[in-house]
Amino acid sequence: ASKYNLLKQSRDSLQATYSTIIRRIDELDVSRLSGQGDKVFVVARGEVPQVKSWPRRGRMLLMAILFGGLLAIGACFFLDYMDTTIKGESDVRALLGDAVIGGVPSADEELEEGAQLDDFFALKKPQSHFAEAFRTARTGLAFSSTDKPLRSFVVTSTQPSEGKTLTAINLAIVHAQMGRRTLLVDTDMRKPRLHKVFNGPSDHGISELLAMENAESKIDEMIVPTQIEKLFYLPTGLVPSNPVEMLDSNRFAGLVEQLLKRFELVIFDSPPSMNLVDALVIGKHVDGLVLVIRTFVTPKFAVQQVIRQMLASKVKMLGVILNNVDLPAGGYYSPYYYGRYGHSYYYEEGQRRKDKMALWRSEVTALVMRFLQRWKKNP
């Protein structure tokens, strides 16, 4: 037992000495790394935390929603500012003043599933917003010429595919439905389309009348009746090589006079006016010009150029018809403002406030949707 106790004391002494040496070695390593000598001591060992201190998901989510929403709205307004196309009536008023006589909404929502829009959609569905838009434009045209009754006008656009022919056809239809004997003349001698719409002859028309010395006796033979009562049309005929020279002649002026003797209203469908002067030439021989603008498609500079050309040619501007306008709830082009068969709807003040809120929400939604569509096209 005494020998065992002696060995145990010896082992404890060696163990204490070994622990002291190891601790001193650690202290020397720390001092060498920090360069502070014996003044650096290990106070506490680092422990792995059990709870996350960063990131805080709730706070980061709220910040992402806030700043992400502000950034998205700012980007939408920036893209909307950089977009140089006509977006609505406010842009037209800024360029032309009070010149909007009607806004035609898109008929996609009123089309049956799988159906496509044709030129007689307003005739097939007279109670649609699409049809009411042309009745409103008809009223606007009537008030655009207060000094004398409107007897003739030309319909044009700045660029192709803006709906000028569609607008001319439906304006002729709504005037014929009023009981006015109406003639629709296809003076688009670049790409005539009326004979395809009405499924009529294309081998004779106004080009032949302008080429004749005495065309008065042939006018009635060239005019084609339609299935719509009191609506007639005059096709282009053979496409000439010099359409501007034919239109800017005394024969055309005489032809217009002869047509006005036979009809109460004559509507001319002409080519786009951005790079062609056909509509301006026709405008000198009629009561005025109606400009069709497709929202979010027609550039502002194109409209400005056409207006400058009209002022230089001294052609009277009857008004602008906006095509493919948005129909937000409670908006200016809403069915509540169009009315139905001439009867208007009126709302109480509370309903008006709801309509204004709905209009604001729809405009913001439309702005975001346009941004997403552009981003998909050009990511």
The pLDDT of residue 262 is 93
Three-state DSSP class for residue 94: helix
**Residue 225 and residue 230: Cα distance in Å, rounded?**
8
Global pTM? Answer: 0.68
**Residue 195 and residue 173: Cα distance in Å, rounded?**
16
Which structure tokens are listed for 257? 């006079």
**Residue 252 and residue 262: Cα distance in Å, rounded?**
16
Mention every residue, 6+ apart, whose C-beta is less than 8 A from residue 268: 152, 153, 154, 155, 168, 185, 187, 282, 286
Q: Is the pLDDT of residue 355 over 60?
A: no
Which structure tokens are listed for 49? 């935390």
Q: Is the pLDDT of residue 93 over 50?
A: yes
**Residue 371 and residue 288: Cα distance in Å, rounded?**
38
Mean pLDDT of 128-133: 88
The pLDDT of residue 34 is 58
> By CB neighbour count within 10 A (0-12 exposed, 13-18 middle, 19+ buried), where does 202 fall?
middle
The pLDDT of residue 334 is 43
Q: Is the pLDDT of residue 358 over 80?
A: no
b/e 36-73 (16+ beta carbons within 10 angstroms → b):
eeeeeeeeeeeeeeeeeeeeeeeeeeeeeeeeeeeeee
- Lateral strand order in the sheet of 289-294: 100-105, 317-325, 289-294, 152-157, 265-269, 182-186, 231-234, 224-225
Report the chain's mean pLDDT, rounded to a whole number: 82
Residue type, 128: S
Q: Is the pLDDT of residue 345 over 50?
A: no
68/34: higher pLDDT? 68
Contact call for residues 142 and 150 (beta carbons, < 8 A)? yes
What phi and psi values does residue 183 have, to the nearest 5 degrees? -120, 130
Characterize the bridge pairing of strands 224-225 and 289-294.
unpaired
Q: Is the pLDDT of residue 257 over 50?
A: yes
Per residue in 260-277, pLDDT (tens digit) is 999 999 999 999 998 899
Q: Is the pLDDT of residue 337 over 50?
A: no
Which structure tokens are listed for 97? 């003043």
Q: What percent of the chain has pLDDT over 90?
A: 37
Confidence of residue 204 (pLDDT cuts 50, 70, 90): confident
Contact call for residues 102 and 130 (beta carbons, < 8 A)? no
